[in-house]
Amino acid sequence: MALTIFSLSILAVGFLLVLLTLQRRVPALEAKEQAFRFHSLRDQLQLLAVGGCIETGSTSYTVLMRMLNVAIRNPRLMKLRDMLWMAEAAKDTLSHPTFEEFQKDIQRHDQSVQKLAQDCFAAYMVMLISNDSIVRLAFKGVNWAVANWTALKPILVHSRALFKCVVPAHTEAVDLARWYSHKQRMIGAV
- Residue pLDDT, tens place only, 140-172: 777 666 666 666 667 666 777 777 888 888 888
Q: How many Cβ atoms sit within 10 Å of the Cβ of residue 56? A: 11
Q: Is residue 144 part of a domain?
A: yes
Which residues, other chains included, contact 170 with Cβ-Cβ below 8 Å and sequence gap of 6+?
Answer: 80, 132, 134, 135, 138, 163
Q: Is residue 102 part of a domain?
A: yes
Q: Is residue 176 part of a domain?
A: yes
Residue 11 CA, chain-centre distance (Å), reads 39
Confidence of residue 44 (pLDDT cuts 50, 70, 90): very high
Q: In terms of residue numbers, what domain contains 83?
A: 29-189
- Over residues 107-130, the mean pLDDT reads 89
Q: Is residue 98 part of a domain?
A: yes
Q: Is residue 24 part of a domain?
A: no
- Over residues 107-111, the mean pLDDT reads 90
**pLDDT exceeds cutoff 70 at 74:** no
**pLDDT exceeds cutoff 60 at 127:** yes
Confidence of residue 23 (pLDDT cuts 50, 70, 90): low
Q: Is residue 56 part of a domain?
A: yes
Q: Is residue 11 part of a domain?
A: no
Q: Is residue 8 part of a domain?
A: no
pLDDT score at 20 = 65
DSSP H or E run through 56: none
What is the spatial distance between Cα 67 and Cα 71, in angstroms, rounded to a whole number?
6
Residue 67 CA, chain-centre distance (Å), reads 12
**Number of independent structural domains in the chain:** 1
Any idea which of 57-71, 83-97, 112-126 has the lowest mean pLDDT?
A: 83-97
Full-model pTM: 0.75
Any idea which of 7-11, 72-76, 115-119 has the lowest mean pLDDT?
A: 72-76
